[in-house]
Every structure is written in structure tokens, then in C-alpha cells.
Chains A and B, each alone.
Chain A
């Protein structure tokens, strides 16, 4: 009996997405807010890494969650809520980026946390016998974001989802509505392009 209570307790406290979606559809806004709480950071990271603009990313995240709320009836549950919200975010961000191409814009970057200084790649970079060891964190951050912005929207999406957010190829294919082969191919060409853009930092 006690075991049953213990098993049920976490689910009651932390219901799965499908339960929250069902409740939100019935008008329970607090359930939807819980979903937002769960995914807003990840959606923000996705949009921010694609736009390299924190204010635009914040507006876009709100837009994505508003759109998702209005389209809850369209969520059939074939994929996870996470995949579905990511799909909305990717599509809306790509549309936004296509419009933004026509206007000049500056990079508006978030701050990096302290843990970056212990990151393997950064430590390796700093230990080189070359001028890149003297690069400041801010310069490196600008360079990385600028290089990412030179990719096409689709290539950038794949790089962001795979190399930054760590999603598997299959999930990226599902989000981008394309084949796994296309994802691999885009990743390959995107990395080749980035190698050229970041040649000065390559070993």
C-alpha cells in the first residue's frame, strides 16, 4: 500500500506532458503554464542560437507558446509535446529569419556562464601554442555566433539542434519533417562551412 502511494506520488506531482495537454485543452491554464515552465528554456535556447539576438528570441518564445496554445486542438499526440513545440519554434524562427534577411541587424548576445572556462574545448583552445590562446571569451563568443549566422536557416537549425542542444538525428528529422539522411547531409555540409569560417581556431 505504501509502495503504491510512493509510486503514484511522483506522477501526481509531476504529471506527464500528455496529461497536462489534455487538461490544458479543457481550459486549465495552470496545466499549460506547467508545460511552458518545462520547455521555455529549451525553446529559448533554440531560438536564441538561431537568431543570435536575445530580445528577438524572447519575443519569439512568447509567440511560439501563444501559437501552440491556440493550436492545441491540432496536437494529435502522434509525437511528443516536446517535438511538436520544437517544430512550431523551428518553423516560426525560420520564417522570422527569412524576413530579417532584408534588414540590417546586430548580434545581441547573452552572457556566458562561468562553467565555460572549464569546458574541454575552451581549455584546449587556451593551451595552444598559437595566438588563438589569447582570444577573449567575448571575442570567441562573437566569432562563434557570427559564423553560425553565415549558415543557411536549415543548416543552422541542424547544427543548433545537434551540436548545441544534443538531439539525436532521428528527432531532428521528425522536427524538421525530413529524412535522417537529409539531417546527416546538412550537418556534414554545415560543419564543413563552419570549419572554413572558424579556420583560425581549428587544430
Chain B
């Protein structure tokens, strides 16, 4: 491409000419009735549209009665159904925390200075989750035994300082 540019004596002139050629498109004109037609079509489209308002104003207007009553009823019914379903779900769900009736096993943890007795009980109590390994443990592989280039990148080279 550069070679072809160099062959031509005046690339700036060519560039300018292309721009002027493209500018001929300024002479393309819409038909004379375009403006009237466009204004009429817009008037028809915007006849029932309020000028742009903020979303808060739009919601207020909608609630105040700009929407169709039947549509408002349907939306209200949907919201009520969702609320009822949510309440039912909360009531039927099994409790995932100890209730007040059963003693909480983590009492030992609340004391500021746990005695050896408490610690012993805690360590033997299987219901405690304190010493259980979590389900997901992210352990990085050792740097000495890289699993592969994806996880660890290239194998590390030991550095010697004794010379």
C-alpha cells in the first residue's frame, strides 16, 4: 500500500478528491413532501405520549391512574400472590437454627477464658462444626511440584547463593 502511495505524485490531492466526491451526496434530497409527512406522522405517534419524565414521575402517574384499570388489577394480584407465596414458603421451611428450647452448643465459645473442661467437651462433641473441615478447600499446589504450566507457569529454578 505504501508503495502504491509513493508511485502517485500527490496522494493529498487524491484524498481530497475522494472527500469531495463523497460530498456530492449532499445533493441527494428527500422528496419535497418529506417534512410535512414526517411532522404529521410524528404528531400521530406522539398524540397520546407525554413528554419525557423521570421514572419516579412515570410510576407515580401510572399508579395515579394513567394505566388501564384491568391492567392495574392484574399487576396488583400478581404482587399479592408473590407476597403470599413468600410467606407460605417461609412458614413451611425447616428451621436451620437451634430453637430457644434446645441449648446452643456454642456456649463454650462465648466465655472469654475457656476452661480445659469446656475445651474437652467441645473437642469430643460431634455436633460442633468448629473442627470440621469445610466442604471446599482451595489448596494451592506446592511450588516444588508444579502440576502443570496452566496452574503454576514454568517450573521454578532453584537459586544458589553459595558462589
State whether A121 and B38 are in contact (beta carbons under 8 Å apart), knowing that A62-B45, A70-B52, A163-B22 are contacts in the complex. Answer: no
Closest A residue, CB atoms, query B21: A121
In angstroms, Cα B24 to Cα A32, docked, is 32
Segment 189-203 of A: residues with Cβ below 8 Å from B: 191-192, 194-195, 198, 201-203
Chain B nearest Cβ from A67, distance in angstroms? 9
CB distance B29 to A112 under 8 Å?
Answer: yes
Given A33-B39, A58-B34, A203-B14, list of 19 further CB < 8 A pairs? A27-B51, A29-B51, A41-B34, A49-B28, A58-B37, A66-B45, A69-B52, A71-B52, A72-B52, A110-B31, A111-B28, A113-B27, A120-B20, A121-B20, A122-B24, A144-B25, A164-B26, A195-B14, A195-B18
Size of the B side of the interface (Cβ < 8 Å), in residues, is 36
- Taken residue by residue from 2 to 42, chain B's Cβ proximity to chain A (1 for < 8 Å, 0 otherwise) reads as 00000000000111011111111111111100110111011
Chain B nearest Cβ from A166, distance in angstroms? 8
Closest B residue, CB atoms, query A26: B51
State whether A163 and B23 are in contact (beta carbons under 8 Å apart), knowing that A66-B45, A109-B28 are contacts in the complex. Answer: yes
A-B contact count (CB 8 A): 135
Chain A nearest Cβ from B108, distance in angstroms? 60
Top 6 nearest A-B pairs (CB, nearest first) are: A72-B52, A116-B27, A121-B20, A73-B52, A110-B28, A112-B27
Interface residues of B (CB under 8 A from A): 1, 13-15, 17-31, 34-35, 37-39, 41-43, 45-46, 49-54, 57
CB of A145 closer than 8 Å to a CB of B: yes
CB of A65 closer than 8 Å to a CB of B: yes
